[in-house]
Chains A and B, each alone.
Chain A
């Protein structure tokens, strides 16, 4: 990113950027433009797209991927990746369901499920940070492990018979807004504050930007990497909470392919896959972009097979347009 001064002689003064140029250079700018473009196309192509009901549905459907994509953002910002999010989501969800079905109080079951997600994430983190294994391999392996554990735990069948009150997280409403959307916004708010207003957030980007320099300057890199993957496990478990509550059953096979959607959301959000650059609000925009794509193509009656092709093409196009603009 270059400095947007236009005068002939650069003054060695500390000048602040204008509001407009800050927006233009914000990592969220291009994702937002893409989002608005797709939004307009979908609105023109379908009469029903703009109905308030439909838009709320889009946001709610997108919430699951959006929540997972928060942890994925942390991992990608450090230059890593977490492929295990889908199965970890399913495993956490089925554990919550299983405990409740066994008569545990919902609060305790939810806490256990969230803890399990964190433990799984921490295990990923320990492998990456302390055993120095490559994240893509570690999480590819734990992806299989988590999926297998979920299937073993449930015997391959969904767990139902959950207490009615538990549906709050997936189907409830607070002041007219659906709870999944609220949870999503809350997760993003916390992530934003952590990434932009705490030292830990700064270290996340620093590790992705140059891990060796970060280490030599005296930052405890392994500790923060551990934390990053723990957060990814936690957000996957939160998504597990929402989806289990929405379906009112623990689905051991839920979340297949979600890791790819989450990665797509992060990258569509303007993050560099090599780390060091990206914005959490961009990820939110990216996740919502995917959601309106899914919804719009469905409304248009496009065949699901063709939808995959269309989605892939649009992702490629978006990355192509956005490439190198930060270099």
Chain B
């Protein structure tokens, strides 16, 4: 009998059938992958398992006993733990306070028993074999360590079922390996795990079985050993996707330099030089925290810097704010679409037109709603946003569709340079492929693109040139055949002397290659 069983679970939201009789069985000591495109129903299913949503019909069984999770707390008490896609830790509290938040052990006077908490936290970390000081404040931790604290927190209630919703998305290859080590340990300890990821190679590395969902329907469950990536993608999207990258025809005109930037970040020793040609896709590769996003923000004037000299099409420009950058035709698609990209309470339409409302002012300062609506609908068709309507509130859409809304915002803005920061994070294969094609189309129109990405296949498959970041500086500029996963990771992970950021490499870490 499976430790965890979801039987014919159905769930409707107004206007959307999110899940239709979906079933899932996970054994003790199994890592079970849940696979599907954005909007396929993975997150909804997991939220039902955790008591955040209640199913319209169907059952949740643990050890064969039907469960009714009316709240997240109930699910936790029944032994279900979840590590959310978005972290739920409180940065200002210590690790141990976070782990026991809301259920601190107390003494007879009602006061918190710090010693007991500390002991239990240490025991947890020992079990996971991770080395984190439980008394440190969470905001001092790296993204990976925060993730491990999340896992510890989920396990602290003796969870026997652990849901990991895209845990690898913000992690570097080394950190992913650490996570997998922990997951293997938990497998040996008999924990049933549901693992959600968009990275096929991770599923083949760590998972035992895989269940595929498509458009809220159960498709199939397979032994991972009996299948391959191509087959899974086909099951997910319902068609064969052979190559998600558009043809490698470059639109770059290397003689026509659109943008030159000499930027020295606050607190950095050196000035970095960035050059961008017309129609080029320039990749910013590097580990999370290597300074790529900071550079992007500096390039649009959103971040204070020690030195910033920029030349746009041969003319010196001063950028004091993102608004200045926009005026000059430089736009940013930010890394975190919910926090930095979208106005969540706004409709799709209002989000898309936000930065070019002027186009619809037939009689300034008034906006013509009719023209705005027509333009929005054309744009939404062009990027293929799946939404009931242009007046759908953007917060209700899936991640991929939200990202398309953010991209649509820039298409008619007439920018010469677009900076895409992790444009496909948390997005399914189908939507990724569409976004890549869109980027190529933009470069064909003479627009230059900077793409920041932690996914090496994306960098190698799409970029004309690549700048590798390491410890806040550009440490290598690659082009042509040099753009290769191993070379990029070598530069991204080597120990650098800060006095000599472009100095000799240390090849010993070249094996840390996440891409296949």
| Interface positions of A (Cβ within 8 A of B) | 1-17, 193, 197-200, 202-203, 205-206, 209-210, 212-220, 272, 276-277, 326
Contacts and interface: CB of A to CB of B under 8 A. Distances in A.
Given A213-B339, A216-B334, A220-B323, A6 B15 contact: yes
B56 to A, nearest CB: 13
Interface in B331-375: 331-332, 334, 339-346, 350, 353-355, 357-358, 361, 365-367, 369
B322 A206 contact: no
B17 A8 contact: yes
A197 B353 CA distance: 13
10 contacts: A9-B17, A12-B386, A15-B388, A202-B367, A209-B343, A209-B344, A209-B345, A217-B331, A217-B332, A277-B345
Contacts of A214: 343, 354
A210 B344 contact: yes
Given A10-B16, A276-B345, A3 B331 contact: no
Contacts of B323: 218-220
Contact of A5 (B14, B300, B343): B14
Given A5-B15, A14-B377, A212-B340, A202 B350 contact: yes
Interface of B: 13-17, 300, 302, 321-323, 325-327, 331-332, 334, 339-346, 350, 353-355, 357-358, 361, 365-367, 369, 377, 380, 386-393, 396, 409
B355 A1 contact: no
A203 B351 CA distance: 11
A217 B366 contact: no
CB-based closest 8 A-B pairs: A218-B326, A5-B15, A209-B343, A199-B357, A2-B14, A220-B323, A3-B388, A198-B365
Contacts of A193: 366
A326 B347 CA distance: 12
A222 B331 CA distance: 19
A12 B358 CA distance: 28
A192 to B, nearest CB: 12
Contacts of A199: 357-358, 361, 365, 367
Contacts of B358: 199
A10 B388 contact: yes
Given A199-B367, A218-B325, A218-B326, A213 B388 contact: no
A202 B354 contact: yes
B380 A14 contact: yes
A15 B340 contact: no
Contacts, number: 127
Contact of A209 (B346, B391, B392): B346
A217 B337 CA distance: 11
Contacts of A202: 350, 353-354, 357, 367
A277 B344 CA distance: 11
Contact of A210 (B339, B367, B391, B392): B339
Question: Which of B300, B325, B331, B388 is most buried by chain A, counting CB atoms within 10 A of its CB?
Answer: B388
A244 B206 CA distance: 76
A205 to B, nearest CB: 7
B366 A216 contact: no
Contacts of B340: 210, 212-213, 216
A3 B392 contact: yes
A2 B394 CA distance: 10
Nearest to A277: B345
Nearest to B302: A216
A213 B369 CA distance: 23
A206 B339 contact: no
Contacts of B334: 213, 216
B367 A197 contact: yes
Contacts of A12: 386-388
Question: Which of B14, B17, B331, B369 is most buried by chain A, counting CB atoms within 10 A of its CB?
Answer: B14
Contacts of B390: 14
A218 B388 contact: no
A62 B477 CA distance: 67
B325 A2 contact: no
